[in-house]
Amino acid sequence: MGSERVVVIGGGPAGLAAAAAVADVGSAVTLVEWAPFLGGTPIAENYAALTPNMESAEVAMGRMIDRVTSNELVDVRLGSQVAACEPDGHGFRLELSGDGAGPLHADAVVVATGFQHFDPGRETQMYGYYEFPDVVALQDLEAMLKDHHVVRPSNGQPPERICFVQCVGSRDRQIGNEYCSKVCCGIASKEAIEVRQQLPDCKVFIFYIDMRMYGYWENQIYWPAQEQYHVQYVKGIITEVLQKGDKLLVRGEDTTMGRPMEVTMDLVVLSVGMEPSLGTRLMAKTFGVAQNKYGFIDAAHAPLDTVSTSRPGIFACGAALGPADLEDSVSSAAAAAVRAVAHARSHQPVGA
Amino acid sequence: MPIGGRKQPPTAVELEHATVTSPLSGREWELPGMWNRMFEQRVEWDFTTEGFEKIGSLEGGESLEWCYGCGKCVPVCPVDLVGEYGPRKIHRKVQTGLDLFTSDDLWLCTTCMNCLRVCPKEVDMVKVMPAVREVAVAEGQVPGELADVFEKTFRYGNALGENPRRRHAWTRDAGVDVRVLASDPRPVDVLFYVEDYWSYHPRGMQAARSFARVATALGVDFAILGPEEKTIGDSQRLAGEKGLFEALMEDVVATLDRYEFQRIVTPDPHGFNALVKEYPKRGHRYDVLHYTQLLAPLVDRIEWRKELDCTVTFHDPCYLGRHNGEYDAPRTLLRAIPGVRLVEMGRCRENGYCCGGGGGGMWLDGLTANHTSERLSERRVREAVESGADVLAVCCPYEVSRFEDGAKSTGNDQLQVRDIIELVDEAMGGGGG
């Protein structure tokens, strides 16, 4: 073991995986998280079950957190953020602010600051997220599923008909998010299964442009949702949501039938995509690493090096690099960790 | 909008009486029906799970809901090529509220199985359609022309409503002796199960005689059931009369039990299909061959006496080819015939086009005509002509009459429709049907 130290920024799935990996190979690691708790978005946004294996988010994240906090090589700084970064020999001198304020030397840095959910208020289509209480987003339904209390926010009654609207805030030039957010088809289908489990009488519809189920998600989520849970997939996206009595009227085109559609729903769930989190944007500036046009940190040597940024010694992983599911996030975290350790050790005196 | 061939106009919705109030005078006007005419609304206004729940609860109906809309089935659906129909469309229509149990769409599927061949989700219309039809039949929602055939089959044991005692009348002019087991019950190698159309249809009877001559010349020890034979009724099963099929199976098995034979040979791919796939489910196992499978291994023993000098194309029967995987035996026979030049149509073998007769389509020409721009058999005839063939060769008893009609109605009288056995017989110096 050397005296090198890697600093990981962000305590979500990617940051926890990176910190654990750094410690696993015997380097000291400081994990900086600006929230007062670890677990990242799955905990902060009250996710119910993780995709695709449907394990409780709290249980699964709790296991990751324990693995990190129980390792003596890991120093966790909650409620803290990196305020400044200066070169320091071959490494960096970081200035932390917040609860763990103070200077910190880093031989290498892993940025794992993740994403935030697209704000449906920015949608150019009129989905009425802030107008209608019964229009919610994926994470709002997650919270209801976690409480086993899926209701129409307008009246507290269980919905009889729910629809998901895919690609909200993704694949849209006007919004500026031309990319596919990768996970929303799977998340919507997973939530649809959970709704059918919790409310067996509730009809669930998913309106989509095209279902993007990567790899095993096809048979792990999509096919069971359709074949075992009788979720109805309708090809054609919703363009607007209107009030009709105490219901919501969703309007769009049924593209396989080539006809307009106007269907009433009790609850409309917007499958919001991913945008770079505020933390990702701030850290990109603080560390002076290049961002792509969408604000995600640029993987400078992609596709075969997915974790190096434009600045040597600064690595990134997870959804800070762009839309990523959990499996991709923890995989890139391990890759970033090993690259960061290698970078840190390459400048350490042998046997120090 | 529907594309291609849909002859039925949109369903008109007319109100008998309507009263409108003038916005100007406030006066109420009575409007007669002609002014109240509306058409089916264009906007899809509901999606429902009820249809899938009802169909999915039927044994065999589960997979309709599995469709994810890729559409691979539609271009290979023989009905969609001449009308507005296709498995994916059925899925979507049911999702948008179609009651398949009372819809004409229920009767358009010929169970040709080309959709299942290409379906990534294994949506099995060959099981879905008969399951739904069975319910429709039980509820009396059957097209009249089909109900008539069910009635005839029930009453006479054949779809044509012919006298069962005349089932072996074709043997008289065969020119060779055909043993009937009822009068001569000695053990026999081949029980020749003639089925309905070779027993009664004039063109089928010609083929049956050809078979008798060819089999006799080749020294095949065969006999028929004659008046004791009843149809196996596989197409009736697929058209929704499972009960009738099962009752027939009991009769057929009881008859077969009385005789000793090594194998069953039939010219009918539909009966063949049932004997190979359905009978074993009830424990009735026989060694079954289509007649082309009996004869193909014997071609080297045939003494040819005549060169036919014709270009022949071959139509794969859905129930011999796709359903049971036999593509080569018919071609082996055709290639062996002196003077036959075999050419293939674009759609052949695994993606062979359907003649329209399967799954009850044989008896639904009236209903199908209301939803298609031309018959499937007519389209197939035009493909045969395009292939440059003089002869359209077949080996399913449904097809000779269907294609001969199609050749006439499309103005292609020059195209001869011949069963393979007729060509073999002719080249062996027999009558050729």
Q: Mind listing the pLDDT tens digit for each residue in B248-293?
A: 999 999 999 999 999 999 999 999 999 999 999 999 999 999 999 9
Chain A partners within 8 Å of B121 (Cβ): 223
- In tens, the pLDDT along B308-334 reads 999 999 999 999 999 999 999 999 999
- In tens, the pLDDT along A206-215 reads 999 999 998 9
Angle at B424 between CA B418 and CA B426, to 5 degrees: 80
Confidence of residue B234 (pLDDT cuts 50, 70, 90): very high
pLDDT for residue B2 is more than 70: no
Contact B49 A226 (CB under 8 A): no
- Give the pair of three-digit tokens for residue B302: 């045939």
pLDDT of residue B46: 80
Which is nearest to B66 in space by CA: B123, B107, B25? B123
- In tens, the pLDDT along B168-198 reads 999 999 999 999 999 999 999 999 999 999 9
Contact B69 A254 (CB under 8 A): no
- Give the pair of three-digit tokens for residue B100: 């398949």
Three-state DSSP at B273 gives helix
Task: Measure in Å the smallest separation between the Cα of B215 and chain A Cα atoms.
Answer: 51
Q: Which residues of chain A have pLDDT under 50?
A: 351-352
Nearest by CB to A226, which of B1, B45, B68? B68
Chain A partners within 8 Å of B88 (Cβ): 256
pLDDT of residue B296: 98
pLDDT of residue B43: 81
pLDDT of residue B33: 62
Chain A partners within 8 Å of B52 (Cβ): 230
Contact B92 A230 (CB under 8 A): no
Probe site for chain B from A164, A262, A264, A266 (most B CB atoms < 10 A):
A262
Return the domain boundaries, chain A.
5-114+277-346, 119-273
Interface A-B, measured as beta-carbon pairs within 8 A, has a size of 53
Spatial contact of B299 and B333, defined as CB atoms under 8 Å apart: yes
Q: How far is Cα B78 from Cα B375, in angstroms, rounded to an integer?
A: 10
Query: Any idea which architecture A119-273 has in CATH?
Result: 3-Layer(bba) Sandwich (3.50)
Return the domain boundaries, chain B.
50-138, 160-296, 303-427
Full-model pTM: 0.87
Q: How far is Cα B79 from Cα B187, in angstroms, rounded to an integer?
A: 45
Chain A partners within 8 Å of B56 (Cβ): 230
pLDDT of residue A95: 98
pLDDT of residue A352: 42
Beta-carbon count within 10 A of A311 CB: 15
- A161-168, strands of its sheet edge to edge: A135-137, A267-272, A161-168, A203-208, A232-235
Residue B145 φ then ψ, to 5°: -65, -35
Chain B partners within 8 Å of A256 (Cβ): 69, 71, 88, 92
pLDDT for residue B3 is more than 50: no
Nearest by CB to B92, which of A211, A226, A256? A256
The answer to whether the A5-114+277-346 and A119-273 domains have the same CATH topology is yes
Q: How far is Cα A313 from Cα A290, in angstroms, rounded to an integer?
A: 14
Task: Measure in Å the smallest separation between the Cα of B294 and chain A Cα atoms.
Answer: 43
Q: What is the mean pLDDT of residues B33-41?
A: 61
Spatial contact of B158 and B197, defined as CB atoms under 8 Å apart: no
- Give the pair of three-digit tokens for residue B408: 């006439």
Nearest by CB to A262, which of B1, B45, B65? B45
- Say if strands B222-224 and B261-266 run parallel, antiparallel, or are unpaired: unpaired
* ipTM greater than 0.90: no
Identify the H or E element spanning B384.
helix B376-386
Beta-carbon count within 10 A of A90 CB: 14
**From 3.50.50.60, 3.40.50.1820, 3.40.50.2000, 3.30.200.20, which CATH number describes the A5-114+277-346 domain?**
3.50.50.60
Nearest by CB to A227, which of B1, B43, B66? B66
pLDDT for residue B32 is more than 50: yes
pLDDT of residue A282: 98
Nearest residue of chain A to residue B52 (CA atoms) = A230
Residue A124 φ then ψ, to 5°: -75, -30
The answer to whether the B50-138 and B303-427 domains have the same CATH topology is no
Q: How far is Cα B316 from Cα B195, in angstroms, rounded to an integer?
A: 19
CATH superfamily of B303-427: AF0625-like (3.40.50.10700)
Confidence of residue B12 (pLDDT cuts 50, 70, 90): low
**Whether domain B160-296 has CATH 3.40.50:** yes
Nearest by CB to B69, which of A235, A258, A259? A235
Residue keyed to tokens 């770079």: A276
Q: How far is Cα B298 from Cα A317, in angstroms, rounded to an integer?
A: 71
pLDDT for residue B10 is more than 60: no
**From 1.10.1060.10, 3.40.50.2000, 1.10.10.10, 3.20.20.70, which CATH number describes the B50-138 domain?**
1.10.1060.10
- Say if strands B261-266 and B288-290 run parallel, antiparallel, or are unpaired: parallel
